[in-house]
Amino acid sequence: MKGDNPEYHNNDTASTPTAQDQELPSETQEQRCRYVERLLVYRSHDAVAKRRPLKMKAGSCYIPQKTKLIGDDAHFVCEHEQVVGVADGVGGWAKLGVDAGEYARELTSHAEKAVRASPEGCVDPHQVLATAHARTNALGSSTACIVALKDQYIHTVNIGDSGFLVVRNNEVFYHSPTQQLRFNRPYQLQKSGGETLNDAEIKSIGVEPGDIIVVGTDGVFDNLFDREVIRVIKSGLALSVSAERMANLIADEALRNSIRRTKETPFSIACRKAGKRRKGGKKDDITVVVMCILEADD
């Protein structure tokens, strides 16, 4: 399982090593480094624990391709449980006569049910996705990303080229890595074959009031650079728009880029790196979920 320990972010710093410290044997220095790391984690965890509880306000937007009736993406928002998720059915199944979106829709439906069935405040995104995967029987395959807010952290599971951004103070604080075997072949879940939940990226990240998390399918991140997402968010914040309106603004910008034939996009850059000549954006289904992190009411 590809997991990371929770990240703790605060202003605590370790004292600068003295000359005497630097003369210690290497083994002793390594032991001290490990001690300092543990000390910082404990201090940071204590500082986070003293903060006021957080909550999220979420909104979503889905724009299927014009050539598709309902598209291949799917998503859910469980605001009471503070959990959202997106999935993107792999389009290659359409060549076999399979509705490429059916697997994604069934997967997110089971995921939403698993979230709502979880004890309050105890949603584990990885377990939710594992349950949904086990219960999904449709033909096809899908990428997936689930994000849950608990206390002062978001807990996430991601497989494939869907993903999320954490935006703090008008800067990208974290961008989930893309998982793919090769160009345009993302990690994906399916009934049999494909990747497994052991291949999923699991992450816990400390968040603060004012943070904005953008969860999306590759129709978003193939067509928008991080700086473009930031620009849209800044414009939305200046107008005090809702999370749903913010999601619409981001999706609209991704759509515009997807049909521009000469626009430099993340997808066009990826094409060149793969030895393919292509300019412009990528026409695709576009799903955006925006989570606005706020202090919880007393």
Structure token pair of residue 1 = 């399982």
**pLDDT tier, 110 (very low <50, low <70, confident <90, very high otherwise):** very high
Structure token pair of residue 278 = 């292509």
Q: Is the pLDDT of residue 68 over 80?
A: no
More confident of the two residues 38 and 20: 38
Residues 143-164: tens digit of each pLDDT:
999 999 999 999 999 999 999 9
- Per-residue confidence (pLDDT) for residue 12, from 0 to 100: 34
Outline which parts of the chain fall under CATH 3.60.40.10.
54-295
pLDDT (average), residues 121-126: 95
Residues 250-296: tens digit of each pLDDT:
999 999 999 999 999 999 999 999 999 888 999 999 999 999 999 98
> What CATH topology corresponds to 54-295?
Phosphatase 2c; domain 1 (3.60.40)
- Arithmetic mean of pLDDT over the chain: 86
Percentages helix, strand, coil for the chain (3-state, rounded to 5) are 35, 30, 35
**pLDDT tier, 40 (very low <50, low <70, confident <90, very high otherwise):** very low
Q: Is 258 exposed, middle or buried (0-12, 13-18, 19+ CB in 10 A)?
A: buried
- Per-residue confidence (pLDDT) for residue 42, from 0 to 100: 44
More confident of the two residues 32 and 247: 247
**pLDDT tier, 66 (very low <50, low <70, confident <90, very high otherwise):** confident
DSSP string, 137-204: -SSSEEEEEEEEEETTEEEEEEESS-EEEEEETTEEEEEPPP-EEETTEE--EESSSS--GGGSEEEE
- Per-residue confidence (pLDDT) for residue 43, from 0 to 100: 41
**pLDDT tier, 33 (very low <50, low <70, confident <90, very high otherwise):** very low
Residues 215-261: tens digit of each pLDDT:
999 999 999 999 999 999 999 999 999 999 999 999 999 999 999 99
SS3 per residue for 101-126? CHHHHHHHHHHHHHHHHCCCCCCCHH
Q: Are 78 and 60 in contact (CB under 8 A)?
A: no
- Per-residue confidence (pLDDT) for residue 6, from 0 to 100: 36
- Per-residue confidence (pLDDT) for residue 69, from 0 to 100: 79
- Per-residue confidence (pLDDT) for residue 278, from 0 to 100: 86
Q: Is 176 exposed, middle or buried (0-12, 13-18, 19+ CB in 10 A)?
A: buried
Q: Are 175 and 165 in contact (CB under 8 A)?
A: yes
Amino acid identity of 130?
A: A
